[in-house]
Structure 1
Amino acid sequence: MLVKSEFDIQFHLSVPTPMMAMLHLHPSLEPQVRAGNELAVEHIDLETKANIPVSEYRDVFGNRCTRFVARAGAIRLSGTSVVEMEGLADPINAHAKQVPVENLPSEVLQYLLASRYCEVDKFGPISQDLFGWMTPGWTKASAIRDWVHEKVMFNYKTARPTKTAMDVFTERIGVCRDYQHLAITLSRCQNIPARYVTGYLGDIRWPYSGPGDFSAWYQVFLDGRWMTMDARHNEPRIGRVLMAAGRDAADVAITTSFGNAVLTNFYVDSYEVLEDGTTVPTLPGTIAQEPVVTSANRGSAGAVQGLAE
């Protein structure tokens, strides 16, 4: 199966502004890329456009990142990719075993600790009461995912960039990333390493839900490898395309501007195509699509702001 993903994101800047972007596919997918996976950064006006020089680096989590200084005015970040995938739904690893903490790889230990949005230190008794009695491994991990899915109500109007796992637990309402933060936190409290993921999740062989967007889910470390979990869309899905992974949403913002950047255009889509490039039609559906985490602004006072999924 071939999945084509594309984006066109535009900002208006009042002054030249340093920015970072995390818009390439995850390095682990490079062997599967059939076309594209490049990021174009342009300064645009009514008649002309000019490329903005960029440089790349890998962050501490292994994500592919881009940095640049955008000129004042309108800028566009755009790109496409075509990835070959197996076309299988998220696997159910019912017999996956939990790895004792003392046997975890050292690089995985950080995914047991508290992070910006995941207050593990506040959830110990809560998590123990809810899940401490359950069989370790997939049984417990999937129970945490399903509990969050059932207890939290989705409402994109409640999105805010400061919302933590404890806020979600208390308010019982949130958006895509909030579901994942709560599930990640409860998992870590049960010594299940969990990390936050961003990527594409199009309506591939799934009822159409409206205009596309980036998505968020999470992964748990069982049987010595990372396995997909999604507390918002907790049914097995086809066509997840990984972009970045980190401790929580703070580590994997799609764009970060070190100054004010006004979002003026946002287009994202991910869909199945045939070998000749023909788009495979989606199934009919009426479910509204939610917005997702796309950016973070750091103003002159250092305040972190952003859009939330």
Structure 2
Amino acid sequence: MDDKAPRSGHGDAPGIRMRIGCRLKYRLTQKTPIIALLNVHFSRFGDLERADYLVTSPSVPLESYRDGFGNWCTRMIAPAGDFTLSTDGIFRDGGLADPVAPDAAQLAVQDLPSETLVYLLGSRYCDTDILSDEAWRLFESTPPGWSRVQAICDFVHTTVSFDYMQADATRTASQTLAGRKGVCRDFAHLAIALCRCMNIPARYCTGYLSEFGEPEPHAPDDFAAWMEVFLDGRWWVFDPRNNSRRMGRILIARGRDAVDVPLTQTFGPSTLTQFDVWTWDARHGPAETAPVSRN
């Protein structure tokens, strides 16, 4: 089974070069343990021209490890006061859009690899028990496999309205369907839950998504969320928020849903005072100018 990050960059495409990174600043009232998932996934590390090492200010000892999903995690103890975490790397991508395989078949549950079965189960934000009847009503008549997953993405994309101001860290997939609004993680959670209801393994992904090849105006840079589904013996990228095949998609972490891949987990009171993400075109130079905060 291919468990590497599906890549948007094979063949003879000219390729793209991006400067990627983030800066998160917290105000802490006490010494606080933190776990961060901010580095490019190990499966794409070879595409980094300059590694996106995690840097903190003030500097503190860092301990890195891989979690049960294979994500790079970094733990630390931050002092009270202002504390900043940042990454900044140069990434080369093949420049092709997410791969498409319209004939990819859906496997029967009894034929699925055992390691995919966890991605059929309900989870914190993907409440399959509530959505199961509706999922079968909507998608039972669709052809199984790629076409069914695309039908789910089409439904989510057209049913849910994107509204950055409506972000809610506690919103579940069923609540997204009921309210018909949300941000990219809500689109992903709903599509994942519907896929699982239809016996298709689906997992949550977060990372960078460039605007290469997309018409102006471009939205402000932010981390993105999408899903991977298991068809025909491998994982495939689907993006219900954009509902298009995109280039410059860079995985940071994956899990059952967003609860498994928080950008940062602070174990104490904290206030996020600055949040910046960048995916800049660096094809024509080093792009060494420091990113400017939008906060």
TM-score (normalizing by structure 2): 0.89
Contact 2:21 2:52 in 1 (8 A): no
SS of 1:157 mapped into structure 2: helix
CA deviation after TM superposition for structure 1 residue 208, in Å: 3.7
Q: Aligned residues: percent identity?
A: 43
Given candidates 261, 265, 269, the residue that maps to 2:274 is 265
Counterparts of 2:81 and 2:287 in 1: how far apart (Å)?
36
Residue number in structure 1 paired with 2:88:
80
CA deviation after TM superposition for structure 1 residue 224, in Å: 1.1
Query: Would you say 1:4 and 2:19 are equivalent positions?
Result: yes
Can you list the C-alpha shifts for 1:97-134, whole angstroms capped at 9, x where unaligned? Answer: 11221121111110000000001122221111100111
SS of 1:38 mapped into structure 2: coil
Residue number in structure 1 paired with 2:45:
30
CA deviation after TM superposition for structure 1 residue 275, in Å: 6.3
Residue number in structure 2 paired with 1:303:
none
Contact 1:3 1:271 in 2 (8 A): yes
Contact 2:19 2:287 in 1 (8 A): no
Given candidates 206, 221, 227, the residue that maps to 1:212 is 221
Counterparts of 2:166 and 2:62 in 1: how far apart (Å)?
35
Given candidates 244, 249, 252, the residue that maps to 2:258 is 249
Residue number in structure 2 paired with 1:292:
none
Indicate the RMSD between aligned Cα atoms, in angstroms. 1.4
Given candidates 237, 248, 255, the residue that maps to 1:239 is 248
CA deviation after TM superposition for structure 1 residue 158, in Å: 2.2
Residue number in structure 2 paired with 1:198:
206
Out of 240-249 and 93-102, give the one that drifted further: 93-102
SS of 1:227 mapped into structure 2: strand
Counterparts of 1:278 and 1:179 in 2: how far apart (Å)?
32
Residue number in structure 2 paired with 1:306:
none
CA deviation after TM superposition for structure 1 residue 80, in Å: 1.1
CA deviation after TM superposition for structure 1 residue 89, in Å: 1.2
Amino acid in the other structure paired with 2:21: E
TM-score (normalizing by structure 1): 0.85
Give ranges in structure 2 of 5+ residues lacking alignment. 1-15, 289-295
Amino acid in the other structure paired with 1:177: R
Query: Would you say 1:224 and 2:233 are equivalent positions?
Result: yes
After superposition, the Cα gap between the structure-2 partners of 1:77 and 1:32, relative to the gap in structure 1 and judged at 3 Å, is same
Contact 1:10 1:77 in 2 (8 A): yes
Query: Would you say 1:117 and 2:125 are equivalent positions?
Result: yes
Contact 2:34 2:75 in 1 (8 A): yes
SS of 1:256 mapped into structure 2: strand
Amino acid in the other structure paired with 2:164: Y
Counterparts of 2:110 and 2:89 in 1: how far apart (Å)?
40
SS of 1:118 mapped into structure 2: coil
Instruction: Spell out structure 1 runs of 4+ moving beyond 6 A.
Output: none
Counterparts of 2:280 and 2:25 in 1: how far apart (Å)?
22
Counterparts of 1:231 and 1:133 in 2: how far apart (Å)?
20
Residue number in structure 1 paired with 2:182:
174
Given candidates 64, 81, 86, the residue that maps to 1:56 is 64
Give ranges in structure 1 of 5+ residues lacking alignment. 44-50, 280-309
Counterparts of 2:165 and 2:50 in 1: how far apart (Å)?
37
SS of 2:218 mapped into structure 1: coil
Can you list the C-alpha shifts for 1:192-229, whole angstroms capped at 9, x where unaligned? Answer: 11011000012122234232111111111111111111
1 or 2 for the larger relative contact order (CA 8 Å, sep ≥6)? 2
SS of 1:140 mapped into structure 2: helix
Can you list the C-alpha shifts for 1:159-189, whole angstroms capped at 9, x where unaligned? Answer: 2111101101111111111111110000001
After superposition, the Cα gap between the structure-2 partners of 1:22 and 1:278, relative to the gap in structure 1 and judged at 3 Å, is closer
Counterparts of 1:166 and 1:210 in 2: how far apart (Å)?
27
SS of 1:211 mapped into structure 2: coil
Out of 193-202 and 206-215, give the one that drifted further: 206-215
Counterparts of 1:197 and 1:221 in 2: how far apart (Å)?
13
Contact 1:164 1:181 in 2 (8 A): yes
Query: Would you say 1:127 and 2:135 are equivalent positions?
Result: yes
SS of 1:18 mapped into structure 2: strand
